[in-house]
């Protein structure tokens, strides 16, 4: 059997980093973790190929080779998915589809032959069994949450890793919290399920043996969902594993209550974590209560961010405007918070209601759903009718983004962060493309860019005040260029 695994293209978005990746001659952020994990679950004797449309094209030759096309996607890849389906149908090759998009919206894709929905550990084996005996059904789904301690390591060998800047791995699934706009618990449950320490070390070993030394992102919905196991088992083992190894800085996602546990922070930094994405959402307490973001309430959010930064963790933040309880002043409140906290990578989106969430159900009851969920966090669109009115919301949102990503505000925020940040001691090899990116940044940003003055101010400030952070400062300058391109494309 010949299986072609196809990963649809991401549009140009906040997290695509397409404009930044060009500086280091990379084509995409990360290879498709889900598809490569599914590939490892398929019979070993089957032939498998990966086509990631973010780095290459799907050709007639690819489709002619394949007996089946396996496709997995997130909601934001919806448009590319439709193009892939059209190509497969034209070529007469059968499709097997799974992943978050199809789990939530499979009825929107009538031309797909088979749907293997929810988590593949539960639904893939029954499909493969029925396929072997010529009795495959169209839809396979399950409401069970599988034991991921039986999940195999992804087949990284199928991916051409030289085209990527980051590799994602997964330690756990599920989140103990209940934010009403988040569909993680609808898809993966409230109780975090976690792999064994030996599993995660084997995955790290596999990547290290392949020569990978760049970024690794733990894609867990909340890395600290099971604090005790993380503190007593996983992090000590990774600290030991890292001894004598270079590179491979880690990033992940975690809730803000990480700031309350100094021991956990210290262990994460010693294990090689230098970045954490945190859902801040809003500085407005009434809006936090509205969306059941209990872990963020009743605390000094700025100070919580500073605690993480001072310990060695760069905080990337998620923010939302458009809650029912947002006052007219929320846009300036968000600007003030983001600038004061020094969160350089601040993703601000309009409130959206994904299918399967408490928010979706409430909006449906109130007759406030107006379109489908886009899956794009920073495109200036929402699928719900906001209390403050669509006009004021969109206008305020546009002003907010243009302000925080203007060269003046953005570079000020970078310096605010660099003053606080204490980087972990991770030996990272500076490869050729990073030196080339440095010279490209001088030319593109220092001489041609609208941020010329701010670029050189940051350049020399870092060189004299925080020289160890000079590579990071240049990286942020390049990120800023990407963010401005995205905002100009989608919001202005």
Identify which of 99, 110, 101, 119 has the alpha carbon closest to the alpha carbon of residue 138: 110
The architecture of the domain spanning 2-140 is 3-Layer(aba) Sandwich (3.40)
165-420 has which CATH code? 3.80.30.20
What is d(CA 466, CA 105) in angstroms, rounded to the nearest whole number?
Answer: 49
From first to last of its 492 residues, the chain has per-residue pLDDT tens of 999 999 999 999 999 999 999 999 999 999 999 999 999 999 999 999 999 999 999 999 999 999 999 999 999 999 999 999 999 999 999 999 999 999 999 999 999 999 999 999 999 999 999 999 999 999 999 999 999 999 999 999 999 999 999 999 999 999 989 899 999 888 898 889 999 999 999 999 999 999 999 999 999 999 999 999 999 999 999 999 999 898 899 999 999 999 999 999 999 999 999 999 999 999 999 999 999 999 999 999 999 999 999 999 999 999 999 999 999 999 999 999 999 999 999 999 999 999 989 999 999 999 999 988 888 888 888 999 999 999 999 999 999 999 999 999 999 999 999 998 988 776 666 678 888 999 999 999 999 999 999 999 999 999 999 999 999 999 999 999 999 999 998 777
How far lies 73's CA from each of 33, 111, 199, 235, in Å?
11, 16, 25, 31
What is the model's pLDDT at position 432? 80
Instruction: Establish whether domains 2-140 and 165-420 are of one fold.
Output: no
Phi, psi (deg, nearest 5) at residue 444: -75, -40
* Residue-level pLDDT at 479: 98
Q: Which pLDDT belongs to residue 428?
A: 67
pLDDT value at residue 429: 67
pTM reported for the whole predicted model: 0.95
End-to-end CA distance of the chain: 49
| Separation CA 362–CA 181 (nearest Å) | 10
3-state secondary structure 2-55: EEEEEECCCCCCCCCCHHHHHHHCCCECCCCHHHHHHHHHCCCCCEEEEEECCC
Q: What pLDDT is recorded for position 427?
A: 66
d(CA 100, CA 102): 6
* pLDDT for 376: 84
Domain map (residue ranges) of the chain: 2-140, 165-420, 432-490
- Measured over the CA atoms of residue 330, residue 334, residue 335 and residue 339, the dihedral's sign is positive
Judge contact between 238 and 204, C-beta under 8 A: yes
């Amino acid at each position: 059997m010949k299986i072609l695994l196809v990963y649809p293209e991401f549009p140009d978005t906040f997290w695509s980093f397409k404009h930044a990746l060009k500086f280091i001659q990379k084509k995409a952020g990360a290879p498709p973790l889900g598809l490569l994990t599914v590939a490892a679950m398929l019979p070993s004797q089957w032939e498998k190929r990966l086509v990631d449309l973010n780095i290459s094209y799907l050709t007639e030759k690819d489709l002619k080779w394949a007996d089946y096309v396996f496709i997995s996607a997130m909601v934001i890849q919806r448009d590319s998915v439709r193009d892939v389906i059209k190509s497969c149908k034209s070529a007469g090759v059968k499709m097997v589809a799974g992943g978050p998009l199809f789990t939530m919206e499979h009825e929107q894709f009538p031309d797909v032959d088979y749907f293997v929905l929810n988590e593949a550990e539960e639904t893939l084996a029954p499909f493969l069994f029925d396929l072997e005996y010529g009795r495959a059904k169209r839809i396979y789904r399950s409401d069970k949450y599988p034991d991921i301690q039986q999940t195999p390591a992804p087949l990284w060998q199928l991916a051409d890793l030289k085209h990527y800047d980051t590799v994602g791995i997964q330690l756990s699934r599920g989140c103990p919290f209940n934010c009403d706009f988040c569909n993680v618990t609808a898809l993966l449950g409230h109780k975090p399920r976690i792999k064994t320490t030996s599993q995660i070390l084997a995955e790290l070993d596999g990547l290290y043996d392949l020569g990978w030394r760049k970024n690794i992102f733990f894609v867990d919905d909340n890395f600290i969902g099971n604090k005790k196991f993380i503190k007593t088992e996983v992090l000590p083992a990774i600290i030991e594993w890292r001894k004598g190894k270079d590179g491979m800085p880690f990033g992940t996602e975690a809730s803000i209550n990480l700031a309350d546990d100094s021991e956990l922070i210290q262990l994460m930094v010693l294990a090689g974590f230098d970045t954490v994405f945190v859902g801040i959402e809003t500085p407005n307490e009434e809006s936090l209560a509205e969306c059941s973001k209990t872990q963020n309430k009743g605390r000094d959010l700025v100070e919580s961010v500073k605690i993480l930064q001072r310990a060695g963790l760069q905080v990337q933040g998620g923010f939302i405007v458009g809650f029912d309880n947002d006052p007219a002043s929320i846009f300036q409140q968000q600007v003030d918070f983001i600038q004061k906290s020094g969160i350089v990578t601040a993703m601000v989106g309009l409130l959206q209601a994904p299918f399967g969430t408490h928010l979706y159900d409430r909006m449906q009851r109130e007759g406030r759903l107006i379109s489908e969920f886009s899956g794009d966090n920073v495109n200036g669109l929402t699928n719900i009718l906001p209390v403050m009115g669509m006009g004021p919301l969109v206008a305020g949102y546009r002003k907010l983004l243009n302000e925080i990503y203007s060269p003046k505000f953005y570079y000020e925020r970078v310096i605010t962060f660099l003053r606080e940040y204490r980087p972990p001691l991770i030996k990272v090899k500076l490869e050729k493309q990073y030196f080339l990116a440095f010279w490209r940044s001088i030319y593109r940003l220092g001489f041609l860019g609208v941020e010329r003055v701010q670029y050189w101010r940051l350049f020399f400030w870092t060189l004299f005040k925080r020289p160890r952070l000079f590579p990071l400062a240049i990286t942020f300058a390049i990120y800023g260029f990407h963010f401005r391109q995205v905002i100009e494309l989608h919001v202005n």
